Structure formats: C-alpha cells, structure tokens
Amino acid sequence: MKKLRLKKKSIVILIAILGLFIGTYYSTEALFSEFISGEFSISEAPIQGYAFIVNEETWFVLEDPREMKYVIDEYQKPMIARLNDKSNITSIEFVEDVKIKEVMYSGTFSSAKDALAKLNENKDEAQLYTVMKGDTMWDIAERFNISFRQLATYNSDINLDRIWPGNVITLQPSKPSLDVIITTTQVVEESIPYTNEIIRDNTLISTARVVVKRGIEGTKNVTYAIKTLNGFPHVVEVINEEILSEPEGGILKVGTQTTMKRRSATDFGVTVGRYTSGFGYRLHPITGRREFHYGIDIAGPQGTVIKAYAAGTVTRAQFSSGYGNYIEINHGGGLSTLYAHLSKINVSVGTRVTVGQQIGLMGSTGVSTGSHLHFEVKRNGTPVNPLNYLN
C-alpha cells in the first residue's frame, strides 16, 4: 500500500515537471487526470500541404503537389478526349474561381483517389435515351424538344443518319462539379471576296450580266480561338487575320431593260394558259420516245395573245415542220427567246419589238397535239430553263 502511494506521487511530480517543460497551461491536476483517462497526447506540428479551394471554400488538401497535378489532369482528361483537335490546346481553365494554395496543415490529408471522387461528383447526371425501332434522330430531337444541332454535338461518335435500336443517345450531358473551358487555335486559309464595279446598260435586259473584267479573290490566314465547355463546342472567336493577297475588283455590265414576269399559276407574262410540260427529259407526246424538251409548254385557246419577253430584234419569223409558225428574238447580251406553234405571226425579220409587245397568236401548227405555246430561252445559243427567267 505504501509502495503504491509512492508510485502515484512520483508520477504526479513527473507530470508536473513535464508540464513546465513543454510550457502548457495545464495544471498538474489536469495533466494527471488526462494521463489517467488515456486522453493525454502531444499535438503534431503542422506540415506543408496544398489546398484545392473553390470560391474561397477548401474542398480538399493534398500533401504532394504531384498528386494535385494528377487529380486535375484526370478530372480534365474526359473533356480533352472529346476534342476533335488536341494538337493545338492553348489553355485549360476552370470557369469557377479555383485556387491551389500552399498551406501549413495539421489535419488528415486527402488521398488522390478521394480528391478525384470529390471532383467527379456531378451536379446533374446525364440524360440518356435508348433508341427504339423506327426512331430517327429528327424524331428524337422533336420528341424531347432538343435542336438537331445539339444532338449532333452531344453524340459526335454516332452516325446520325444511321442509328439502330439499342444505341444510347445523350440528350443532355452530365453537369460536372466544376466547368472547364479548353481553348484550341486553328489557322484556316480563307478567300477575300472582290467587289464589282457595276455598269448599267439599257441595251440589255434586267436579267443580263456581262463580265467586262473578271475579279480575282484575295486570300488570308484566319486564326480562330475555339473554346469548348466541358469538351463541347461553346464559342468561336477570330483572334488574328493575316492578308496573303489582296482582292482585285471586276467590272460587270447589268441590264436595265424590263422583262415579262410570271404573275400567277396561269399568267406567264409572255402568254396565259395552263402549264403542261417543263424543261428537260420527257416522253414525247407524239413519238412516245424519251427526248429532251428544250422549252416549256403553255396550253390555251387558239388565238391567245403571245407577247415579247423583252425588247429586242426579230431574227426569225417563219414556218418549220417541227415548230410550225415560230418567232425568234435576239435581246442582246447573248440572250434570245423562241415562240413556236403559232396560228399567226404579227412581226417580220428585222422588226424592233418592245417588252410586252404582241408578236403573234397561239395555235397548233407544226408537230403539236393541241393549241399551246412552246417557249424557249437561249443563253449564248444554249437552251436554259425558261422558268428561271420568268420567275
């Protein structure tokens, strides 16, 4: 019993001396109480660490800066993988206010695995859709009120024209805990358009264009900054332009003469009637062979008035076995028109006609199955679609 008291007294003295030595504010009684209860410990000194701070809030602290780099690189890796061009990355930045700060830390350091898990906690999970039989991307876009362009952006690894049941479509990508903007640069050679000096010519019809001097396009190198948000297209900016060659302007003559225009389904300007045959290949109504039709046919009662498409000079006013009674007018600038199967011709070769002037009457002469106008337009001797000149 006496020995036990001596031991306790010796311990009390030892603790008191220890308390004085380490400069604590603990009383001998308090130290003795903590020692007996097993709660007494000596705090570890803080050591250097690296804090990952988002908007002034510390998310985790790592002990080794190499761990921090590894965690950030792994978090950003899937976003980089979505890029079409990974060779010209100029910057990778967090949208949020993120700081890596060197700190003195006495707590428990996070592991790289736990830190990465923290970053990979998505704010919102991805919205996915599994393709069903009969689905098309257009149907899916309309059903979920998403633009086709967005679907194409989110599913760049899928052939949008050929999807199969079971394909998983991303309707909305996951919203990560931290947004990342990746900037790449791309240099593209582009043309610089030239401008034409316009000369207005009253000897040409309004649709006529005559090149007096051909312009030459210039070239330039355009440097684009292409920004992606979490790996998806976000913003494209022009950051530099380098002129390689200046454009050279051209000179263009533009006609000012008015022409007859189509006003309705039955009024074609040059005549009125029912549209029965177009420009291009067709089965000939008499021979039954597949032949090229060089004009358009407008059917109407015999005697329907035929008018000149534009001002010009009559170069032909005659009969042929195929066209029957027909008229050809030269409008200048390489443009001419032809009017066939007429019942009557009201002009002669050399006549100068004005736009809309009556030149003949509709009929069914020549190779024809009924009363109609066969109307042709030629540009430099080559037949072209008359509807492009009437509309």
List the structure tokens of 159.
């052939």
Residue 213 included in any domain = yes
237's enclosing H/E stretch is strand 232-245
Question: Treating both helix axes as pointing N-terminal to C-terminal, what angle do 2-22 and 28-37 enclose, rounded to 10 degrees?
Answer: 110
Q: What is the pLDDT of residue 70?
A: 97
- Does pTM top 0.85 for this prediction? no
Structure tokens at 245: 């060659």
- d(CA 352, CA 302) in angstroms, rounded, equals 25
Per-residue pLDDT at 29: 46
Range of the domain at 159: 127-172
**The pLDDT value given to residue 16:** 41
Residues 150 and 187 in one domain: no
Write down the pLDDT at residue 290.
Answer: 76
CA distances from 270 to 3, 118, 376 (A): 135, 77, 11
Is 200 a member of any domain?
Answer: yes
Cα 115 from Cα 119, distance rounded (Å): 6
For residue 330 the two structure tokens come to: 């030269």
Same domain, 351 and 288: yes
Instruction: Check residue 391 and give its pLDDT.
Output: 81
pLDDT at 11: 42
pLDDT in tens, 9-45: 444 444 444 444 444 434 434 433 443 344 444 446 8
| 8 Å CB contact between 253 and 204 | yes
Q: Count structural domains, the chain.
A: 4
286 and 374 belong to one structural domain:
yes
Q: CA 188 from chain center: how many Å?
A: 16
Which regions of the chain are under pLDDT 50?
Answer: 1-43
CB atoms within 10 A of CB 49: 21
- The pLDDT assigned to 284 comes to 66
Q: How far apart are CA 378 and CA 388, in angstroms?
A: 12
CATH number for position 347? 2.70.70.10
- For helices 65-81 and 112-119, give the axis angle rounded to 10 degrees: 40
Chain centroid to CA 56: how far? 38
Q: Are 167 and 214 in a shared domain?
A: no
